[in-house]
Chain A
Amino acid sequence: MPEVDLTIEICGMSGDGTIAAGGLLNAALSKAGFFLMAFDSYPAEIRGFGRCVTRSRVGMEEMLALASETHVLISLDDEQSLSRVPFLAKNATVFFDNRPPSFVEEGRSIAAHVGPDVTLLGVPFRDLTARATGTTRGRNLTALGAFAGAFDLPPGPFHEIIRKKFDPKGEKVVLANIKSFDAGLQYAREKLDRSAKGIFPVPQKTGEETDRVLLSGNTAIARGALDAGLKLYFGYPITPATPIMEYLAKALPEKGGRLLQMEDEISSIGAVLGSFYAGGRAMTATSGPGLSLMTELITHGVMAEIPAVIIDAQRGGPATGLPTKTEQSDLHAAVFGGPGDSARIVIAPTNVSECYGYTVKSFQIAEKYQTPVIVLTDFFLDNRVENVGMPRAVPEEIFDGNVYPDPSLKDRYRRFERTESGISPRSIPGMEGFLFTTTGLEHSEIGVPDYAPQNHMLMSDKRHRKITGAMADLPAPREFSKGGSLKVGVIAWGSTFGSALEAVRKAEKKGIRAGALKITSIFPYHADIIREFMARCGEILIPELNYEGQLANLIGHLFRKEVQRLDRVTGEPFPASIILEKIESLAK
Chain B
Amino acid sequence: MSGQHFLVIGNGPAGNEAALTLREKAPDAQVTIISRNLGGSYCPHLIPDYIAGKIPEECLFVVTPDAYTDKNIKFRHGQRVVDLDPMKKTVILDHKEVIPFDGVIIAVGGKPRIPEYLRVFEDSLLTLKTVEDARIWVSMLPETDSVLLIGGDLTSFAVSKALIHLGKKIYFMLTEHAFWPLRPDGALLDEVSQRLACRGVEVISGKRLKSLTRPSGKCVAARFDDGYELEVGMIGAFYGLTPDIDFLRRSGFRMDRGVLVDEFLHTGFEGVYATGDCAQIYHPDLRDYWVSIGHANAVILGRTAANNLLGGEDQTAVVAESIFEVEGINVNTSWWMEF
Contact = CB atoms under 8 A, between A and B. Distances in A.
**Direct A/B contact, Cβ within 8 angstroms:** yes
B69 A111 contact: no
Contacts of A99: 95-96
Contacts of B43: none
Contacts of B93: 109, 111
Contacts of B190: none
Nearest to A109: B97
B100 interface: yes
Given A115-B69, A193-B38, A196-B38, A122 B95 contact: yes
A489 to B, nearest CB: 39
B75 A104 contact: no
Contact of A104 (B79, B97, B100): B97
Nearest to A104: B97
A330 to B, nearest CB: 45
Interface string B93-107: 111111110000000
Contacts of A193: 38, 132
A102, A115, A197 interface centre (most CB from chain B within 10 Å): A115
B68 interface: yes
A104 B76 contact: no
Interface string B71-99: 00001111100000000000011111111
A104 B96 contact: yes
A264 interface: no
Contact of B69 (A98, A109, A116, A196): A116
Nearest to B101: A106
A119 B98 contact: no
Nearest to B34: A111
Given A99-B96, A117-B65, 14 more contacts: A96-B95, A98-B94, A98-B95, A102-B96, A103-B92, A104-B95, A104-B97, A104-B98, A112-B97, A112-B99, A116-B40, A116-B69, A116-B76, A120-B77
Nearest to B99: A106
17 contacts: A100-B95, A102-B96, A103-B97, A104-B96, A104-B98, A106-B100, A109-B97, A111-B76, A112-B76, A115-B65, A115-B69, A116-B66, A116-B69, A120-B77, A193-B38, A193-B132, A196-B78
A195 B139 CA distance: 11
Contact of A109 (B40, B66, B95, B100): B95
B95 A111 contact: yes
Interface in A54-100: 96-100
Contacts of A420: none
Interface in B265-317: none
* Closest 10 A/B residue pairs (Cβ): A116-B65, A98-B95, A116-B75, A109-B97, A106-B99, A104-B97, A103-B96, A103-B98, A122-B95, A100-B96
A98 B75 CA distance: 18
Interface of B: 38, 40, 65-66, 68-69, 75-79, 92-100, 132, 135
A98 B78 CA distance: 12
B38 A111 contact: no
Nearest to B91: A106
A105 B98 contact: yes
B78 A117 contact: no
B98 A106 contact: yes
Contacts of A195: 132, 135
Given A103-B92, A120-B78, A193-B132, A111 B65 contact: no
Contacts of A96: 95
A115 B79 CA distance: 13
Contacts of B97: 103-106, 109, 111-112
Interface of B is mostly: mixed
A120 B78 CA distance: 7
Contacts of B132: 193, 195
Nearest to A114: B76
A117 B38 CA distance: 10
Nearest to B69: A116
Nearest to A98: B95
A197 to B, nearest CB: 8
Given A106-B100, A193-B132, A119 B94 contact: no
A195 to B, nearest CB: 5
B150 to A, nearest CB: 26
Most chain A CB inside 10 Å of its own CB: which residue of B40, B79, B95, B132: B95
A17 B19 CA distance: 41
Contacts of A97: 95
A119 B78 contact: yes
A99 B95 CA distance: 5
A98 B92 CA distance: 12
Nearest to B67: A116
Nearest to B138: A195
Nearest to B97: A109
B282 to A, nearest CB: 33
Given A193-B132, A195-B135, A116 B96 contact: no
B123 to A, nearest CB: 14
Contacts of B92: 103
A116 B40 CA distance: 9
A122 B76 CA distance: 13
Contacts of B38: 119, 193, 196-197
B65 A122 contact: no
Contact of A117 (B66, B94, B99): B66
A96 B96 CA distance: 12
From A119, A195, A197, residue with most partner B Cβ within 10 Å:
A195
Contacts of B100: 106
A42 B78 CA distance: 32
Contacts of A100: 95-96
Nearest to A115: B69
B172 to A, nearest CB: 28
Contacts of B40: 116
A177 to B, nearest CB: 25
Nearest to B65: A116
Contacts of B98: 103-106
Nearest to A112: B97
B228 to A, nearest CB: 35
A565 B219 CA distance: 69
A511 B79 CA distance: 44
Contacts of A106: 97-100
A96 B94 CA distance: 12
Contact of A116 (B68, B95, B99, B135): B68
B79 A120 contact: yes
Contacts of B68: 116
A116 B98 CA distance: 19
A195 B134 CA distance: 11
Contacts of B99: 106, 112
Nearest to A102: B96
Q: Which of B97, B99, B132 has the most CB of A within 10 A?
A: B97
A104 B69 CA distance: 24
B94 A122 contact: yes
Interface string A407-444: 00000000000000000000000000000000000000
Nearest to A122: B95
Contacts of A117: 65-66
Nearest to B77: A116
Interface in A137-161: none
